[in-house]
Structure 1
Amino acid sequence: MKQHLFHGYMTKNVQKRISEATTAILPSEREMNSGINKARRAMTPTIPTTQLFDIAEPFTKTLHDDDFLIVDKMITRRQRILLFASREQLKMLLGVDTILMDGTFSTCPSVFDQVYTIHAVKYDQSFPCVFGLLPNRLKTTYHFMFQELKSVAMQMQ
C-alpha cells in the first residue's frame, strides 16, 4: 500500500474511533509531525563532518542483534570504508551466479564520496546484499572493498 494511501486509511480509522470533542483538542497534523520529527532528531546522532567518528551500537547490529557493520577500516589516515550486510544477505550473495553492483553519488553523506551497493540476482529478482560507504572512486578502493568482502566470506566458512 502506498504511504499516502496508508496514511489516509489510518487517519479515517482513528477519526471513527474518537469523539469530536477529542478531535477538537488534538494538535494539528502539522504540529504533530513537527513534534515527531523533533523527537526523532533528538534520538539520532548528528551527521559527522569528518571520517573520524564513532558508530553507535544500534547502527552496527540487526534487529536480531547480529553484526550488520562487517567492515570499518581506514584505507589511509583520512579515508574510511564502511560495509554493511547481515549474515543472511552475505549467504545469499555467496550463493548466486549473478550479481549487480552500482554506485551513487548524489545521495551520499558528505564525508564519503559514494554509496555502493551489491545485489544478488535470485529468482529473476535483485536483492540488495551489501551497502558500502566509500571515500572515493579509485580502482584501489574497489579492490580493497572486494578483498575485505572476500575475507569476510572466508571467515563465514
Structure 2
Amino acid sequence: MASLIDGKRGKILVHGGFRYHKNKETAIAIYWRCWRKACGASLKTNVFDINEETPVIQVLHESHHLHVEDEEKILKDRAMHRLKEAVREDATRPIKRAFDAVVRGRHQQGGGDREPLPEFHSVRTLMQRARSTVVPPIPQVCADVRIEGEWANTWLQERFLLHLDNDWGVAVFATDETMQRLQRCHDVYIDGTFRTCPSPYTQFFTIHGKYKQRVLPFVTALLTGKIIGHYR
C-alpha cells in the first residue's frame, strides 16, 4: 500500500519498502522515481492531489530496484512525519507536549522499540518550522491584529478573548468562569510587566484574586503605550 510522508524537499511516496519522489504528472497518471539517483527505478500511480491529507493512491506499474529496501530510512521519515502532524493538528499546543503525545501513542501501539524517536532537543527546530506553516504571522502594528476562531478560545474551546480594541491597542483575555470567580474575590492584585510582552503590544497586564485562600490569575491583558499613557 502506497502512502505519502513529509521529506526535506517535499512529499515522499512510500511503497513496498522504497521511497520515491515525484518526477512528472500527466492527465492520466503521476510518474515517480526512486529516491536514490543511482537506482533509476520508477513507479506509476493514478492522478491524485499530493497535498490532500489522505489521498487514494493506486499503483499502476513499478519497476525493479537495484538496492535493498529503505526500511530504516522510511521508519525515520515516518517518525518525523508524525511529529510534524502532531504540531499542525493543534498549533496552540506547546511543542514539547505534542512530542510527548507522539511518544505515548507509539508506546501504546507497541511500536516504540521498532521505530525509536530522536531526542526532543534534536527535533525542536523541525517541529517549530512545521508549526510556523499553520500559525498566523505576528502583526507589526495593532491595526493588523486579528484574533479569531480557535485562537480566541481556550484548549477546551471555551471563549477566552473578552475584548479586542485595535484603536486603543488592547486585548483582554479571560473565561466566563474566571470572571465569575473574580467577582467573588475580596482581595484583588494587579500587576504589569514590559519584559515578556509580545509584539506589537508593550505591556503584559494581569489581574489576580484571592480565591479560597489561594491567589489565582483571572484576567490577562495586552496593552500598548497609547492606553497606558491615557490612564497615567
TM-score by length of 2: 0.47
CA contact (8 A) 2:197 2:204 kept: yes
- Residue number in structure 1 paired with 2:200: 111
- Residue number in structure 2 paired with 1:50: 141
Larger Rg: 1 or 2?
A: 2
The answer to which structure, 1 or 2, has the higher relative contact order (CA under 8 A, 6+ apart) is 1
1:47-88: CA deviation from partner (whole Å, max 9, x where unpaired): 11111121231111234443211111145xxx4111010000
- Structure 1 position 91 matched with structure 2 position 180: yes
Q: Structure 1 stretches (4+) deviating beyond 6 angstroms?
A: none
Q: Using the alignment, how far apart are the partners of 2:159 and 2:169 within structure 1?
A: 19
After alignment, is 122-131 or 33-42 more displaced?
Answer: 33-42
Q: Going by fraction, where is helix more abundant, 1 or 2?
A: 1
Q: Which amino acid aligns with 2:159?
A: D
Identity rate of aligned residues, in percent?
24
Q: 1:37 to 1:74 in 2, by over 3 A?
A: closer
Task: Kindly tell me the number of residue pairs found equivalent between the two proteins.
Answer: 126
Q: 1:74 to 1:48 in 2, by over 3 A?
A: closer
Structure 1 residue 109: Cα displacement: 1.3
Q: Which amino acid aligns with 1:52?
A: A
Task: Give the unaligned 5+ runs of structure 1.
Answer: 143-157
- Residue number in structure 2 paired with 1:153: none
Q: 2:163 aligns with which of 71, 85, 105?
A: 71
Q: 1:133 to 1:19 in 2, by over 3 A?
A: closer
- Residue number in structure 1 paired with 2:230: 140
Task: Give the unaligned 5+ runs of structure 2.
Answer: 1-95
Q: Secondary structure at the match of 1:109?
A: coil
